[in-house]
Structure 1
Amino acid sequence: MGLAAQFETIIHKQLNVHASWLPITVPYKLGDYGFISDGVFQKIGNVAEFNITFTQATGNDAALNFTSDSVTAIDSSAGAAVSVDPGIEIKASLTFKFNSDRSFLVKAPIINVAQIENVNQVVNQLKQVGNWRRKFIVVYQVYTAQNPLIISNLESGTEVTISGDGTAPKPFNVGSASAKFSLKTNKELGLELTGQTGPIALGLFKLNWLTGKPSILDNEDDEVEVIDLNEEPLTDTI
């Protein structure tokens, strides 16, 4: 299983939505549409291209604190393993030991949620689009992580050390002005995202042409086939 598929599994189990890949760096927006490939959403465009309009609302904030079972943390000041949460204070340095290949460390204590409020009205508009294809999927929620820490290793034996000066109460909010720390690793990482803000997860729906209503993709096995972009446009009549 690749990193993207692994990250999708983590996001689905922790937040019950789908992964934004690459997390943080790809600027997904409400109304983006596309398809699922290799377990993650692939953007084609935005429904605004079809003159689709919608109302944006704010959902409940979320948080994500995930560490693979094979990852251990050592507080150098105490010389012992510790349980790490997003709000812990680093007084000296903290070393994460990745004891298996392709493990993950994801710390996102603040995730803001934006969503389309009138999904049913959007579906009614999409039904009038002549070249809308069956397999198109639409982003109706965007989960934006504020200054998360996302790390994945490539091989076992990787060690990542975060050193702080003890003044930052929430060092995992690495983008804040008060977060003073450094990050070092002894091996190449598969994924390293720190000190940035952007989409980490997506809520997705698909137009159900049998019912004429939206179908929320809430299963990690949903719609995993690759779309055929040469497919004929829909001619169904509801």
Structure 2
Amino acid sequence: MGLAAQFESIIERQLNVHAAWVPITTPYKLGDYGLISDGVFQKLGNIQDDFDVTFTEGTGPEATLSFVSDNTTVVDASTGAAINLNPQGELQANVTYKFHQDKSFLVKAPIITVSVIENVNQVAKQLKKADDWRNKFKVVFQVFVAQNPLILSTVEGGTEVTIGAEGNALKTFNVGSASVGFSMKTTKELGLNISGKTGVIALGLFKLNFFSGNTEFMSIGDEGKVENLNGATLTDDL
């Protein structure tokens, strides 16, 4: 499994939405549409620009994300003593993460804001009337923005990553600010290393489905009405 697909599986399990790839650095926005390729969303354009579709924007409840791969040991960076740290807990300063497996992940994003398209039904009706719209297209109706997250992955097992900070620097997890004295050292090359940048980490997607009776994800009926939106808004098929 590739790096992007691994990150996608983490985001799906933790937030029940799709991963934005590359996380944080790719400027996705509401109304973007595209396809799923190799397990991740590939943007083709935006429904406002390409299909003259309008929608109402709103905000959703904030989310958090805390993930550490299995078979990871955490030790005190100064003494080398093992720490009984909950892998799903908050990031702590002056500790070393020892990743014993290849392609391990550490993802910490305590503050994730969410923007949403509030009138999905109306958007679906507009898209159904568009001559060039294709059923396989997916539409971004939720955008999850992480504030100053830490996202890293290893390439090889045996990689050690030491997180350092002065005083209570990590209490607010403002890892991107030099004023708080955040530092990170690694013994081997990392596959992914993003810290202290605010950006899009995940996407909620929907697609139109004109085949009656199929409501596995989000099904659009003959009048363009959303027939089923019972929390299963992901689309993982092509």
User: Does the residue aligned with 2:126 lie in a helix, a strand or coil?
Assistant: helix
Structure 1 residue runs of 5 or longer lacking an equivalent are: 226-238
Q: CA deviation at 1:176?
A: 4.3
Q: Report matched runs for 1:46-65 at 5 Å.
A: 46-49=46-49, 50-65=51-66
Q: Which residue of 2 aligns with 1:182?
A: 183
Q: CA deviation at 1:165?
A: 1.4
Question: Partners in 1 of 2:180 and 2:188 — Cα distance?
Answer: 24
Q: Deviations over 1:139-175 (max 9, x none)?
A: 0000000000001000101111112111414263313
Moved more, 140-149 or 64-73: 64-73
Contact 1:170 1:179 in 2 (8 A): no
State the TM-score, normalizing by the size of structure 2: 0.87
Question: Partners in 2 of 1:35 and 1:142 — Cα distance?
Answer: 16
State the TM-score, normalizing by the size of structure 1: 0.87
Which amino acid is the alignment partner of residue 137 of structure 1?
K
Q: Report matched runs for 1:1-238 at 5 Å.
A: 1-49=1-49, 50-82=51-83, 83=85, 85-86=89-90, 88=92, 90=93, 93-170=94-171, 172-176=173-177, 178-210=179-211, 211=221, 212-214=224-226, 218=232, 222-223=236-237, 225=238
Identical aligned residues as a percent:
61
Which amino acid is the alignment partner of residue 17 of structure 1?
V
Name whichever structure is richer in strand by fraction. 1
Contact 1:76 1:95 in 2 (8 A): yes
Task: Give the alignment's Cα RMSD to 1 decimal.
Answer: 1.9
Question: Partners in 2 of 1:179 and 1:192 — Cα distance?
Answer: 19
Q: Aligned in 2, Cα 1:94/1:64: closer, same or farther, shift over 3 Å?
A: same
Question: Partners in 2 of 1:28 and 1:219 — Cα distance?
Answer: 18
Structure 2 residue runs of 5 or longer lacking an equivalent are: 212-220
Contact 1:61 1:110 in 2 (8 A): yes
Which amino acid is the alignment partner of residue 54 of structure 1?
F
Q: Which residue of 2 aligns with 1:232?
A: none
Q: Which has the higher contact order (CA 8 A, sep 6+)?
A: 1
Q: Deviations over 1:115-159 (max 9, x none)?
A: 000000000110111100110000000000000000100010111
Q: Aligned in 2, Cα 1:198/1:65: closer, same or farther, shift over 3 Å?
A: same
Which amino acid is the alignment partner of residue 10 of structure 1?
I
Question: Partners in 2 of 1:9 and 1:122 — Cα distance?
Answer: 28
Q: Which residue of 2 aligns with 1:234?
A: none
User: Does the residue aligned with 1:60 lie in a helix, a strand or coil?
Assistant: strand
Which amino acid is the alignment partner of residue 124 of structure 2?
V
Aligned length: 221
Which amino acid is the alignment partner of residue 151 of structure 2?
I
